[in-house]
Amino acid sequence: MNCIIVEDDQMARASLELMCQKIDDLEVVGSFDNGIDALKLIKTEPIDLILLDIQMPDFSGLDLIKSLDKKPQIIFTTGHAEYAVEAFEHRVTDFLTKPVELVRLMKAIDHARENLAAAPSEEMTELFLKVDGRYVRLDLDDVLYVESLGDYVTFRTSTEKYIVHSTMKNIDDKIKNKKFLKVHRSYIVNLSKVVDIEEANMVIMDKVIPISRAHRPVLMNRIKTI
């Protein structure tokens, strides 16, 4: 999950950042001391979860969520329990009072994760790649894996290799298909094409693909094992 932290208290913000680092599938893509700067990022980047303080000067946490057309999962973190009723009127995921404890934060994030998994989404079956000035149609079922090459990514099929100018994050955000999973900062794989999996790598066709320590728990949760 892509997450941002919005908290005007420096110590509380640093504490949340440290706790988030302990959660494998959570990536903090922004940390802000005000809601206005956070809103700018939310409007340009896909955000799954906001850890949001309520009482902030000029632009409160409640002001922020009222400004959103499409709300991600929101966990309020505040020292003011009296805001709870109003917070839940906005259908927030959870409401945590400061000081936030790791066990309680993890429980709230589990709730956010369940909500995201239950949300209906349209399954992508194809996409068009811009290659040499033209758009090439590609069936996702044909893709073995996607590999990052600096400012470019390679889509590999059993017979073809397509190189496009993009970032791995952009590709990961755009591919909405449950068969595809990021297993390393440089690789997104089609799980239906995996031949075998070891501790730190997997094999697809004749390619050995590394599995990062952070992504392995997510991978093991996605595959069926006996």
Last residue of a domain, one of 97, 118, 139: 118
| pLDDT at residue 119 greater than cutoff 80 | no
Residues 91 and 159 in one domain: no
Among the candidates 77, 96, 118, a domain finishes at 118
Residues 9, 96, single domain; the answer is yes
- Whether residue 21 has pLDDT greater than 80: yes
Kindly tell me the burial class for residue 85, based on how many C-beta atoms sit within 10 Å of its own C-beta (0-12, 13-18, 19 or more): exposed
Domain residues for the domain of 71 are: 2-118
Residue where a domain stops, chosen among 118, 142, 173: 118
Question: Based on the domain organization, do 75 and 144 belong to the same domain?
Answer: no
Cβ contact 208:197 at 8 Å: no
Q: For the sheet containing 27-32, what is the strand order?
A: 27-32, 2-6, 49-52, 73-78, 94-97
Domain count, the chain: 2
Q: What is the pLDDT of residues 54-105, one digit of tens each?
A: 989 889 998 998 898 788 999 999 887 776 777 677 788 999 999 999 999 9
Please report, for residues 94, 120, 148, the alpha-carbon distance to residue 191 in angstroms, rounded to integers and kept in the order given. 32, 21, 17
pLDDT of residue 46: 84
pLDDT at 122: 62
What number is the average pLDDT over the span 125-139? 90
Q: Is the pLDDT of residue 188 over 90?
A: yes
pLDDT of residue 136: 92
What's the mean pLDDT when you consider all of the chain? Answer: 90
Mean pLDDT confidence for 30-51: 92
100 and 199 share a domain? no
Same domain, 102 and 190: no
pLDDT at 120: 59
Q: Are residues 111 and 18 in the same domain?
A: yes
